Amino acid sequence: MLRKGSKSFRYADKAQQSMLAAVEIFNSPLVTFKSEICITLITLAWTYLFQSYCEKHSLETRQYETKGKRKAFKRGKDGHILEQPLSELLNIAPDFISSGAKNNILFLIGIRNSIQHSANSDVDPLIAPKIQANVLNFKVALNELSENRMDIGAKLPLALQFAELSLNQTKELLTATHADPLLTSFILEFEGRLTPEERQDTTYEARVRFDLENRNRGSELIAMKVIKPGETIPEDATILANKEVEKLKYRPSEVIDKMNSEGYSSFKMHVHTTLWQSRNARRECTGYGTQVSNQWYWYEKWIDEVVRPYCQKTYSSE
C-alpha cells in the first residue's frame, strides 16, 4: 500500500497530476498543437509512476557505474545524481505493465523524439488512438499500484476527443507530401518490428468496435456508449453500427512464417511471390492487401482464400 506522505506516494501523485493535465490538453479546443505537449506530459507521468513502483519495491532508479563492488552514481553538471530515463525504467520494472503497454510507451517516446525535429507535421489524428490506449493503461497501472486508492477516472473523463481513422486516411497521413520523412520512417520501422498480434493489441492502440443506442421507455433521450474489445454488450442495447476495425495486416515474411508454423515448411518466399504474381493479387480491387508508404501488407483474406488452400493442396503429403 502507498503510505500517504511517503516518497512512493508523492511520485504516484505527481504521475496522476501529469496524466490529468495531458488529457485536459488533448481535449482542449484552444490547443491546436497537442501531440508534443501531450506526449511530454504522458512520458513524465509514466516516469513518476515507474519511480513510485520502484521506490515501493526497493528497485534502484539512479544511474550508476559499477567500480569493483561499489556503485558510482552518475551526476549532472549541477552535482545532482541522474535518474534513469523512462525507456530504462521499463527494463528495471519489467513486470509492472503488459508488453502491449510497453510497446505503446516506446512508440510515443519515439514520436516525441521525432516531433522535436518536425515542426510542420500534423500527427494528432494519427496517434490519438495510441494516446487513448496509453491513458487507459495508466489508469489500470495506477489503480493496481495504489490498490484502487488513486483513480484518475473519478477525477476526469478518460475519453479523448478523437475519431478513428480509416485505412485510407492513415495512408494519406503517412504518404502526404508535407509529412516529415523522419516521422514517417519511424512509424513504419517501429510497427514493422511488431508482430500482427502486437499491432492489434488494444493496450498498444485503442480500437472502436460498436456504437450502441440505449433508449429508455417513455424517453426520447438516447444514450450512446462505445464498447471496447472484450466488453460484454448489454442485453438492452441496440447496435446502430458495427464499425470496421482496421484489418489485421501481414508483411510477406509474416505470411511465410504463419504457413511454416502450420506445418508447410516448403512454402518459401519465392513460392509466395510466384503465387501472388500469378493471381495479380496486388490489385486494390481484390481486397487481398494494401500498400502503405512503399510497403505492401497482406490481409487475412489473402491467407484464408488463397495461401492456405494452396498449401493444403500442394503440400498435403508434408
pLDDT digits (tens, 9 = 90+) for 218-241: 444 444 455 554 555 565 554 444
The pTM assigned to this predicted structure is: 0.65
Written as nine digits, the cell of 246 is: 482496421
Give percent above pLDDT 90 in the chain: 36
pLDDT of residue 46: 97
Written as nine digits, the cell of 233 is: 454488450
Runs of H (alpha helix) within the chain: 7-27, 35-56, 86-92, 99-115, 124-146, 167-175, 181-192, 196-200, 252-261, 269-279, 300-302, 308-314
pLDDT digits (tens, 9 = 90+) for 80-100: 889 899 999 999 999 999 999
pLDDT of residue 14: 95
Average pLDDT over residues 51-72: 89
Q: Name the CA dihedral angle for 298, 302, 306, 308, rounded to a multiple of 10 degrees.
A: 80
The Cα–Cα gap between 315 and 259 comes to: 11
